[in-house]
Amino acid sequence: MKLPNDKNVPINLLSACFNNTSATYKFYWFLSILESVEEGQVQIEKRSLFARMISLSWYTVNYFHVSFGKQDNIQQAIEDIKTWESIEIDFSQKIILEKLLNTSDRRTISALKHFDLNVPHKFLSPWLGPGTSSNIYEKSQEKTSSAPYSLYKDHIIVQADWLEYFKSNMGVLKSFCYWHLALYLQARNPNVPDIPSKLQRPISRGSLVNHKRNFWDLIITELGPVTCIYTGKKLGIDEYAVEHFVPFQFVAHDLMWNLIPADSTFNSKKGDKLPNFDKYFDSFFEIQKEGLKVIKTIAPKNRFLQEYLTIFPDFKIDKLKYEETIRPMLTIAHNNGFQYLKL
C-alpha cells in the first residue's frame, strides 16, 4: 500500500514506521492517535491512548486467540485487565475504553502506564532518530520538528500539518496500518486462517441465521428431523441453531462445509470450544454428506453449494479429504489457546 503524498509532511518517514517491528505497539499506538483525531482531539492524554490500544486489540486477543508473540506485553496486559476489571470478551470497544479510562484499580493503571516506557518516543525515531527518552521529548517540541506530534509527560499534541493530513486521509491511513499489522501477525501465526478478518470486532452476523437456515430447512423437509451430533436430540425446522463445527473464532468464516444444525441450548453453551475429533467427526461427516446429497438433487442451483468447492472441487464429498481439512484445524486452534469441549 502507498500513502497519499502531501507537500507539507514527510510521508516517506510515516511509511517507514512499521518496517522494523518486534511487537504490535506501534500499530495500536498509531491507530489510537488516528481514532482520537477522528473524535476531534489535538491534545491527547497518554493514558487515553494506552487504554485505546487495549480496547483496539481486545477482540484479536480474546475472541480470536491470535498470538502477538512472547515479546509483546499487550497480550499479557489484556489477560490481566480482563480479570481485574471483570470485562467480558464481547463488550464493545467503546465500553472497554470507558471502563479503562474510569478505572481506579492501581493494577490496571500501572499496566497501562507500562507502555509509556518506550512506545510514544520510539514511534518518532524515523523523524527524530535514535536517542534517549528525554532527548526525543525535547526534539519533538522544537518548532522545526517534522514529527507528527510533540511529546509531553502526560499527553501529546498533534502537529498542525500532520493533523490536517490525518483528517484528510483517515480511511487510507487506518487501512495502511491494519495492512501492516495483518502482515506482522500473519508471520507470527502462519497456520491461522484469515488474520485480516480478526483485527477488529466482527460485525453482526444475523444474516447467517436466516440464509443458512434455509439450506438446512430444505434438507430437514426432505429427510425429516435430523439428529444433533452433540446431544442426540431430534431437530425439526425451527428447532435448531446453525453451528460452526470448527469455531468461527478460529476459521473467521460462515462457509457451509463447516456448518451443521445443532441443539440450540447446547450451541449457546459450546461457544468457542473445540469438538473432540474422534468423538464427533464421523457424525459431522454423515450429516454433511446426506445434506449435500439432498441439496444437489432438489436444489442444484442453491448458491450455498458453491461453498463446498474450496474442499471438494467436483462436489464429490470424500471422508478422507474432509478429515485432512478438519483435523489440522482443530489441532492448530488448540495450540493457539482454544479449549476442547468438555461435557
What gap in Å lies between CA 299 and CA 162, rounded to an integer?
56
Assess whether 249 and 321 both reside in one domain. yes
Q: Are 53 and 115 in contact (CB under 8 A)?
A: yes
Residue scoring higher pLDDT (128 or 314)? 128
Query: Domain count of the chain?
Result: 2
Count of other CB atoms within 10 angstroms of residue 9: 21
- Of all residues in the chain, what percent carry a pLDDT higher than 70? 97
Residue 242 — very low, low, confident or very high, per pLDDT cuts 50/70/90? very high
* Residue 133 located in a structural domain: yes
Q: What is the pLDDT of residue 206?
A: 53
Average pLDDT over residues 25-38: 97
Region 78-97: mean pLDDT is 93
pLDDT of residue 133: 86
8 Å CB contact between 317 and 288? yes
99 and 78: one domain? yes
Three-state DSSP at 276 gives coil
What backbone phi and psi angles, to 5 degrees, belong to 121?
Answer: -85, -30
What pLDDT does 203 receive? 65
Pair (103, 126) in one structural domain = yes
Q: Specify the 3-state DSSP secondary structure of 133.
A: helix
Question: 38-60, pLDDT tens digit by residue?
Answer: 999 999 999 999 999 999 999 99
Residue 209: per-residue pLDDT: 58
Cell of 6: 502531501
- Phi, psi for residue 234 in degrees, rounded to 5: -75, 130
Question: Of 148, 181, 198, which closes a domain?
Answer: 198
Q: Using pLDDT thresholds of 50, 70 and 90, give the confidence band for residue 256.
A: very high
Residue 75 to residue 54: CA distance in whole angstroms? 9
* pLDDT, mean of residues 232-258: 93
Residue 63 falls within a domain, yes or no? yes
Is it the case that residue 281 has pLDDT exceeding 70?
Answer: yes
**Whole-number average pLDDT of the chain:** 92
Query: With bands split at pLDDT 50, 70 and 90, how would you rate the model's confidence at 157?
Result: very high
Instruction: Name the pLDDT band for 313 (thresholds 50, 70, 90).
Output: confident
Is residue 168 assigned to a domain? yes
Q: Is residue 124 part of a domain?
A: yes
Which range (50-64, 145-159, 309-323) has the least confidence?
309-323
- In a domain, residue 341? The reply is no
Task: Note the pLDDT of residue 124.
Answer: 95
Helix (H, G, I), strand (E, B) or coil at 129: coil
The whole-number pLDDT of residue 21 equals: 86
Q: Tell whether 24 and 153 lie within a shared domain.
A: yes
Picking from 239, 285, 286, 289, the residue whose alpha carbon sits closest to that of residue 264 is 239
Residue at 4 is within a domain: no
Structural contact between residues 165 and 8, judged by C-beta atoms closer than 8 angstroms: yes
Let me know how long the chain is: 343
Residue 202: per-residue pLDDT = 73
Residue 235 in grid coordinates = 431437530
Residue 18 pLDDT: 87
In the predicted model, is pLDDT for residue 239 greater than 60?
yes
Sign of CA dihedral 138, 143, 144, 150: positive
Q: Say how many CA atoms lie within 13 Å of 212 toward its Cβ.
A: 22
List the domain range (segments joined by +) for residue 114: 11-198
* Lowest-confidence region among 113-127, 272-286, 305-319: 305-319
Judgement on whether residues 241 and 288 belong to the same structural domain of the protein: yes
**Do residues 194 and 225 share a domain?**
no
Average pLDDT estimate for 178-191: 94
Determine the Cα–Cα distance for residues 143 and 207; give it in Å rounded to an integer.
53
Q: Rounded mean pLDDT of 70-79? A: 91
Answer whether residue 211 shows pLDDT above 80.
no
| Residue of 236, 288, 287 whose CA lies nearest to 264 | 236
Residue 272 clears pLDDT 70, i.e. is over it: yes
Helix pair 106-113, 46-62: axis angle to 10 deg: 100
pLDDT tier, 336 (very low <50, low <70, confident <90, very high otherwise): confident
In-domain check, residue 316: yes
Banded model confidence at residue 315, pLDDT cuts 50, 70, 90: confident
221 and 169 part of one domain:
no
What b-and-e string marks burial along 322-336, b requiring 16 or more CB atoms within 10 Å of the CB?
beeebeebbebbeeb
Rounded CA-CA distance 188/190 in Å is: 6
